[in-house]
Amino acid sequence: MTNERRVLVHPDKEALAGSAAARFITKTVDILDDRGRATVVLTGGSVGTAVLAAINTSPARDTIDWSRVQFWWGDERFVEKGSDERNEKQAREALLDHIDVPAGNVHPFPASDEGLTLDEAAVSYAAQLADNGEDGAAWPRFDITFLGVGPDGHIASLFPDRVGIRETEAVVVGVTNSPKPPPQRLSLTRPVLNSSDRIWLVLAGADKASALGLALAGASYTEVPVAGAKGRKRTVFFVDRDAAAEVPESLITPSY
């Protein structure tokens, strides 16, 4: 099994989103033909949401049989269900509310107003993942996992030099005192994210250039978490020119 890393550079955020959307549609159709079902992990942030919006507006959107696609999230802000800060709400508005996907195929993290503490919410989501694991696995087989990247190199809600990025036993962690608001969050752990067949990182802007450059240069994942994002089969960085400013030319894939 190969484990390729590719960096695909696009002129701007719009082109990046369109490229990732087109590739997602093509690959998901292939996965459905091969496996009969597909499991996708979503991210938040402006670029992740732009990719979902581009999927929604694509003429090829409904070549996917959405009834056979399951959606999870890599992380979530532990705020009220209706909050604009929730990755779930952003994803629903950008894509999920516009496609014919059964409600039972969408698996959001618990919200802060649903009667659970942060730790209880982490346990609850881990139980949901286990309920959907194959052959007794603690979580499903993920086909595609989207990840955004912060200027500090964080992925999901796993921040540099924090407990979460070092966690190897838990499936889901509750994050307190997040360096980026809101302070409370829920996140899949690195081993769970890296169990995905494909990790697609989407990032744009000059403020991401340093983190991306360090990650590709072999930085420690505890210091630059994105350095530790590695899909089982493939890891693809969809970036714009500004974010690619510190990427060595030898690592950039000429075309995709």
pLDDT digits (tens, 9 = 90+) for 73-100: 999 999 999 999 999 999 999 999 999 9
Distances (CA, A) of 74 to 39, 44, 65, 246: 12, 9, 23, 26
CA distance 103 to 114: 18
Q: What are phi and psi of 251, to 5 degrees?
A: -95, -5
Is the C-alpha dihedral spanning 179, 77, 147, 245 positive or negative?
A: negative
Mark the ranges of the chain whose per-residue pLDDT is less than 50: 1, 256
* pLDDT at residue 1, as a whole number: 45
* pLDDT at residue 94, as a whole number: 98
- Which domains does the chain possess? 4-246 (3.40.50.1360)
* pLDDT at residue 256, as a whole number: 46
| DSSP code per residue over 163-209 | HHHH--S-SEEEE-S-SSSSS-EEEE-HHHHTTSSEEEEEE-SGGGH
β pairing state of 172-175 and 185-188: antiparallel
Alpha helices in the chain (DSSP H): 13-35, 45-57, 87-94, 118-131, 163-166, 190-193, 209-216
CA distance 184 to 17: 28
Record the pTM: 0.96
CA distance 112 to 132: 23
